[in-house]
Structure 1
Amino acid sequence: MTENDAEKARPAGDRPEAEQSANWAAQPAPQQPDATGLGGHATPHTGAQQAYPAEQQYNPWSPQAQQTQTQEHQAQGQYTQGHQIPGQQTPFTQPGPSVYAVPQQRQAQKSTSGKLLAGVAAIALVVGGVAGGTVGYLTGDGSGGSAVNALDAPKPAQQTGNLPAGSVEAVAQKLSPSVVELQVSGRSGAGEGSGFVLSTDGYVLTNNHVVEVAAGGGQIQAVFQDGKKGTATVVGRDPTTDIAVVKVSGVSGLTPVELGRSDDLRVGQPVVAIGSPFELTGTVTSGIVSALNRPVSAGGNGDQTTVMSAVQTDAAINPGNSGGPLANMAGQVIGINSAIYSPKSAQGQGGESGGNVGIGFAIPIDQARRTADDIINTGQATQTFIGARVQTAPTGGAQLGEITPGSPAEKAGLKSGDVVTKLDDRSIPNADALVAEIRTRAPNDKVKFTLSGGKVIEVTLGGQPVTPN
């Protein structure tokens, strides 16, 4: 197995399930407090009430009524200790909470005017309640003139002028015309992905896994933002870096993107992703650079296993975004959206969820630019290599296996069994990390390998053409 045969390793393992939130024990509903508030039961007043014949109207000032009221007042008796008659003091009660037991019938008044005023007061309370409701209704319905309705307001002025520099809107406006939806079909299936325009004559950069199904005589249709459509053909592809170039014919007036650089990216800087997730053409999402130089193994077999030193982002990336641009806030492309991390489904069926969870990976544009240039100029990508098998060492690092005679590894003096722990200033925790770091560099670059014993060896990297399977 060569350095391209690194054992498959996902960027993150299964995560422990989130701890369940604490269950609050259902508390029994509190019992309604009794009428006295002292734990006992209130005994309602049972004073006798005089019944009057239905045809005889009750007159509170008649001698019969006066006698009845006086008898009921005398029948009330004494209140128990701790209770108080409203309006009177009970200084000899023991300390404790004061509970006001409301008598069922008011004390008889001796004055006729008092009775009249009491009657008027009772009427005022009833009318006050009704009047209050009436006033509230009138106030809520019509006070201050006619009602205000948002539907009657005029539309605000239409947005004009230039978009704020460095905004997501400005990036979308600049980059969207250059983003392409690729509809692909072949003998083994069909699918769709994204890409972006490199040149006015139709070269489009995308992922290998987007177009490989059509590489053996399939069909590719490119759909642009303005609705233009054209037929595309594969110019060349590199499964080891998941990069491919197609050329669209029959379409003019294309707008190439502006390429940025990925060697000066910073964790936390904002980015924008554009693509066609789930066939939703021209979808724009935004986020930040979450991490850099993340070794990611994204499928493939043998020497053509896809391993990349990726830019990690939390910008939403979903199936269909593959091949689309990841841009900085100047609208410059700094990566190609290529893969997402999808944890196992919650149902435990072992399937992938297939949706965005905030962990996406993009191929750095510096690497993609070099590969695309090779493909356009020669029809083939060039793979950077050292000529040694590699596996993850039990104690960490990348352990070299068989060394190919005449390879860059042999010429540098590397031996089978050497464990590489650093490449230049990059830590190498496993085999994938070493393969990814080598592939991000160009042939003939000089790099320094730090071995587990501390020895440093300079290696001149080699290059070899990639012939896709």
Structure 2
Amino acid sequence: MNSENNNSSTPSNPSTPSNPADPHTEQIPAQPESPQHASTADFQQVRNPYAHPSTPSTPFAPETQSAAAAGASEQQWEGAVPGPVPVPGSVTGASEGVGSQQEHSTVTLLGPSEELNAAQQPAAPKKSRTVPLTGAIALALVAAIGSGTLTGVYASRNQEVTSTSAVLEQLRTPVSNEGATVAAAGSVEQVAAAVLPSVVSIQVSTRTGVSEGSGSIISSDGYVLTNNHVVSAAAEGASQVVVTLNDGRELLADFVAGDGNTDVAVIKIRDVADLPVMSFGDSSSLQVGQEVVAIGSPLGLSATVTSGIVSAMNRPVRAGGSNTGESTLIDAIQTDAAINPGNSGGPLVDMNGNLVGMNSVIASLSSGSDSSGSIGLGFAIPANFARRVADQLIATGQVTHPMLGVQLNPNSNVRGAMISEVTPGGPSEAAGLQAGDVVTRINDRSIDSTDALIAAVRSSEFGQTVTLVVEDANGGNSREVQVTLTGE
């Protein structure tokens, strides 16, 4: 067996005599290495490779052998080597010592078939294998490392199992509700909980297609406020109106009346009572920056809640009705709360859950309605205006608006609304207004276009007296005029 540093001489053939010129070489028959660890009985003789070859060897006495075997570990670490035993033996190689005194010592394992001289022959001939001391130490270290490695692998796997068990235990632990709190008053969560029961989804089916939108229940017996463009197809007959309540019930409804000029309509759910009702707020008290919540069924996704602020007030926007003419304008609330197709007719509420607007129009950068979506520019009909129109629709089926009694020139190049004609006997004639006058303000609101004046007048109350600031076509001769709007 070679020593650890691989410098041992190669065993020669047993039939070849040993080289007499080399006193450190002897003939040892090659034997297969045993995979088992050497026992103390295998350590028979310790030789000093530097003893003179002519010195006869003296085999250990049994007690010496036992002592050597028992002290093997001490010899490994302390370098304790028995005194020189002058016997010609092979130096299988200089081993790397662990201790300070064993750098050139070897340990010879004797077997039953070793061939020795008569003077060197022990009582019972045995084969021998030569293993350096460092080789024996290496075997011991390998055994120790092997044991430690097995222990380490076991510990690692044990830790992995423990870690996995801890994770599974954590995942299976019942959730805690300590963090759950009651929705704070005025929060979006609280507003949604209060308002959702009074919001419905609307679907109108005709022979040519289906239209969808949203609505607000405004009476316990089933009246619903919505946009005219959502339900106008039902006014033509041969249609079916289905309303889906927040609790999932689908109920039939009938078209009551609608106004294309203001885009306000009313339908009624059949055979219902004690429905939750939307409460109205005062839209005239809204302030820019005030928080609002939009609720509806965008793209058919019912009970969708979005939040934002009032971005602006008094935006003249065309909403429904014909595509031309002043009658299509509304005085809208602008909001950044996300509004998409399907939100039409749904409520815009304040943080008290009161209806302050009806979502109606969105601005879009897309020219195709199929791909349009919210870009943070949504518009709602003020609740005060929608409520007044709905009242007329339910009571009479028709809508009238406050009037100034003038015709306006939409093609003028002036900043403001230019009067092209004054209606004889109307409020404006009584106030002294003339053709060519340009209205630049109504009360505290600036007027920069024809649409702005129409929207402002329609948002006013019947019979209300308003203050107009009027100039001539050249921007001079500014004056204030008091005008009382027409009544119902």
TM-score, length-normalised on structure 1? 0.67
The two structures, once aligned, show a CA RMSD in angstroms of 3.6
Of 292, 313, 322 in structure 1, the residue corresponding to residue 313 of structure 2 is 292
Kindly indicate whether the alpha-carbon contact (under 8 Å) linking 1:390 and 1:431 is maintained by their aligned counterparts in 2. yes
Indicate the SS of the match to 2:410: strand
Kindly indicate whether the alpha-carbon contact (under 8 Å) linking 2:281 and 2:356 is maintained by their aligned counterparts in 1. yes
Of 254, 260, 270 in structure 2, the residue corresponding to residue 233 of structure 1 is 254
Kindly indicate whether the alpha-carbon contact (under 8 Å) linking 2:295 and 2:305 is maintained by their aligned counterparts in 1. yes
Structure of higher RCO (CA pairs closer than 8 Å, 6+ residues apart): 1
Change (3 A) 1:337 1:141: same
Partners of 1:185 and 1:162 lie apart in 2 by 41
Structure 1 residues 129-148: Cα deviation after superposition (integer angstroms, max 9, x where no partner): x8999599458614679422
Partners of 1:176 and 1:158 lie apart in 2 by 26
Pairwise CA distance, 1:426: 0.7
Indicate the SS of the match to 2:167: coil
Q: How does 1:130-149 map to 2 (within 5 A)?
A: 137-138=156-157, 141-142=160-161, 146-149=165-168
Change (3 A) 1:286 1:391: same
Q: How does 1:374-385 map to 2 (within 5 A)?
A: 374-385=392-403
The answer to whether the aligner puts 1:182 opposite 2:206 as a matched pair is: no
The answer to whether the aligner puts 1:253 opposite 2:274 as a matched pair is: yes
Kindly indicate whether the alpha-carbon contact (under 8 Å) linking 1:382 and 1:463 is maintained by their aligned counterparts in 2. no
Kindly indicate whether the alpha-carbon contact (under 8 Å) linking 2:241 and 2:252 is maintained by their aligned counterparts in 1. yes
Kindly indicate whether the alpha-carbon contact (under 8 Å) linking 1:235 and 1:246 is maintained by their aligned counterparts in 2. yes
Kindly indicate whether the alpha-carbon contact (under 8 Å) linking 1:270 and 1:328 is maintained by their aligned counterparts in 2. yes
Indicate the SS of the match to 2:400: strand
Kindly indicate whether the alpha-carbon contact (under 8 Å) linking 1:391 and 1:401 is maintained by their aligned counterparts in 2. no
- Among all aligned residue pairs of Structure 1 and Structure 2, give the percentage whose two residues are the same amino acid: 46
Partners of 2:265 and 2:151 lie apart in 1 by 78
Pairwise CA distance, 1:330: 0.9
Q: Identify the residue that residue 358 of structure 1 maps to in structure 2.
A: 376
Partners of 1:58 and 1:194 lie apart in 2 by 89
Of 387, 395, 398 in structure 2, the residue corresponding to residue 369 of structure 1 is 387
Partners of 1:171 and 1:148 lie apart in 2 by 39
Q: Identify the residue that residue 460 of structure 1 maps to in structure 2.
A: 484
Kindly indicate whether the alpha-carbon contact (under 8 Å) linking 1:197 and 1:204 is maintained by their aligned counterparts in 2. yes
TM-score, length-normalised on structure 2? 0.65
Of 173, 198, 209 in structure 1, the residue corresponding to residue 218 of structure 2 is 198
Pairwise CA distance, 1:179: 1.0
Structure 1 residues 178-222: Cα deviation after superposition (integer angstroms, max 9, x where no partner): 112121134664301111111112221111111111112233222
Q: Identify the residue that residue 27 of structure 1 maps to in structure 2.
A: none
Kindly indicate whether the alpha-carbon contact (under 8 Å) linking 1:186 and 1:216 is maintained by their aligned counterparts in 2. no
Q: Identify the residue that residue 66 of structure 2 maps to in structure 1.
A: none
| Number of corresponding residues | 359
Partners of 1:250 and 1:276 lie apart in 2 by 24
In structure 1, the gaps of 5 or more residues are 1-54, 64-110, 465-469
Kindly indicate whether the alpha-carbon contact (under 8 Å) linking 1:206 and 1:245 is maintained by their aligned counterparts in 2. yes
Structure 1 residues 385-425: Cα deviation after superposition (integer angstroms, max 9, x where no partner): 22322326424212222333223222222222222111111
Kindly indicate whether the alpha-carbon contact (under 8 Å) linking 1:403 and 1:410 is maintained by their aligned counterparts in 2. yes
Q: Which amino acid aligns with 1:384?
A: P
Pairwise CA distance, 1:341: 0.7
Kindly indicate whether the alpha-carbon contact (under 8 Å) linking 2:199 and 2:295 is maintained by their aligned counterparts in 1. yes
Partners of 1:162 and 1:336 lie apart in 2 by 29
Partners of 2:413 and 2:289 lie apart in 1 by 33
Change (3 A) 1:60 1:176: same
The answer to whether the aligner puts 1:320 opposite 2:342 as a matched pair is: yes
Pairwise CA distance, 1:336: 0.4
Of 268, 278, 297 in structure 1, the residue corresponding to residue 299 of structure 2 is 278
Q: Which amino acid aligns with 1:356?
A: S
